[in-house]
Amino acid sequence: MPSLSRRQAVRACSLALLPLSATTTSAQGAPIKLALIESLSGSFANTGEAVFRNLLWATERVNARGGVKLPGGARPLQLLRYDSKGSNEEALSALRAAIDDGVHFVLQGNSSATAAALIEAISKHNQREPGRRVVFLNYSAVDPLLTNERCNFWHFRFDAHADMRMAALMEVLREDKALKSAYLIGQDYSFGQAVLREARRQLSAQRPDVTIVGDELHPVGRVKDFAPYAVKIKASGAQAVITGNWGNDLTLLVKAAREVGYDGMFYTFYGNALGAPAALGEAGVGKVVAVADWLPNLPTEGSAAFYRAFRERFPKPQDDYVHMRMQLMIEALAQAMEKAASTDALPVARALEGASVSLYGQAGAMRAADHQFQQSLVVGVMDRLGAPGVRFDVEGSGYGFRVVRQITAEKAAQPTTCQMQRP
């Protein structure tokens, strides 16, 4: 068998891994291809697979109701997988392969650095080849710069950015009057740097009485043993850790902290899933705070129905990581294509600027000025399954997150410095 080029290999892998259920629908038209570019191997493979399940479920929902209704007839959504392998270079190679495969909609989010590289590449490509333009839908890359100084017409972010998330965390942290010292730790790239920068700024403004006793960054996805960091955190006397860590970088950090006997608070962006609650166990009860666009224990029946539907589709405990924003993103895309009566990137992007969607009682709207999705946020505290407000646990761990604060979309909003150039 002749050897394949890198691009051919990426394409072959993506197509081979496409599940049939991704296109199962009554719609008869040609599939509308969506490219997921994410780490599907290596240190963060679990985060990429979690995203895939969410997006697969979202596309299945659209397809089950007949697909995207367009003038030439309804068309199904087809989700293609492209493995970035945790590398910006591989992500850019995957982008080229996706474009060659006829993709007009690229989905990515688990790295702000990768998102920035994709935004730049897509912008140049769209200028160079207007007949093959691409729209970038971002579900998790939350460096604030991406919708501020580096905003781009072709990029739409559906997650709350880091400053929005930190402001939500501060709603709870500033009421912790016993807190006098904090340790800041994060991943050494644009997102992690942004989290720590905003933590310093907001602590100074809202809790000047809290002393920062540690402030450090570590390599992304390369630390296998966080014990040295945990020892430093404990030795510092910090009463709380503030971190934006995600994936294994969070799980290994909280596990190491538990093992060295650290008993302080954890104020996190992503402490509610992917192994973190199980890693902490009983030591995390009342000690781990997480912020999200949605949590399973949000006290509404619509929220409970949404979560139960996801678990019916993906019943394995290890698959229990559902994101409302990813569902709303796909709903917004389908809505925009139907409004534009087209799958071409330019009219769809213009329609996305006015997107307003809801699902199971959760709603959000795209802000046209910077392409930052506006939605409510929630803050939860880890507690035992069955405790008041904890109907559901996480990944079968016996621990879930009790909602302690709900922040409206209007309050969660942050100003933007975006000066967008439109085609």
Same fold, 6-160+307-374 and 163-292+376-412: yes
Structure-token pair, residue 228? 């040295």
Q: What does the pLDDT average to over 135-157?
A: 97
Q: Where are the domains of the chain?
A: 6-160+307-374, 163-292+376-412
Q: What would the pLDDT profile of 88-136 be if each residue is shown by its tens digit? A: 999 999 999 999 999 999 999 999 999 999 999 999 999 999 999 999 9
According to the model, what pLDDT value does residue 273 have? 79
Helix (H/G/I), strand (E/B), else coil: 413? coil
Looking at the predicted structure, is the pLDDT value of residue 13 above 90?
no
Check if the beta carbon of residue 105 is closer than 8 Å to that of residue 77. Answer: no
Looking at the predicted structure, is the pLDDT value of residue 283 above 90?
no
CA 306 to chain centroid: 18
pLDDT band at 286 (very low <50, low <70, confident <90, very high): very high
Q: What would the pLDDT profile of 345-404 be if each residue is shown by its tens digit? A: 999 999 999 999 999 999 999 999 999 999 999 999 999 999 999 999 999 999 999 999
Structure-token pair, residue 26? 């009554």
Q: What does the pLDDT average to over 265-278?
A: 89
Lowest mean pLDDT among 18-27, 247-256, 313-322, 377-386: 18-27
Query: What residue has token string 């929902």?
Result: 61
Count of beta carbons in the 10 Å neighbourhood of residue 386: 10
User: Cα separation of 61 and 56, whole Å?
Assistant: 9
Does the global pTM surpass 0.85?
yes
Query: What residue has token string 């006290």?
Result: 299
Name the phi and psi angles at 379, rounded to 5: -120, 135
According to the model, what pLDDT value does residue 276 have? 85
User: Cα separation of 34 and 77, whole Å?
Assistant: 7
CATH superfamily assigned to domain 6-160+307-374: Response regulator (3.40.50.2300)
CATH architecture assigned to 163-292+376-412 = 3-Layer(aba) Sandwich (3.40)
Count of beta carbons in the 10 Å neighbourhood of residue 268: 24
Burial string for 199-233 (b: 16+ CB within 10 Å, else e) reads: beebbeeebeebebbbeeebebbebeebeebbebb
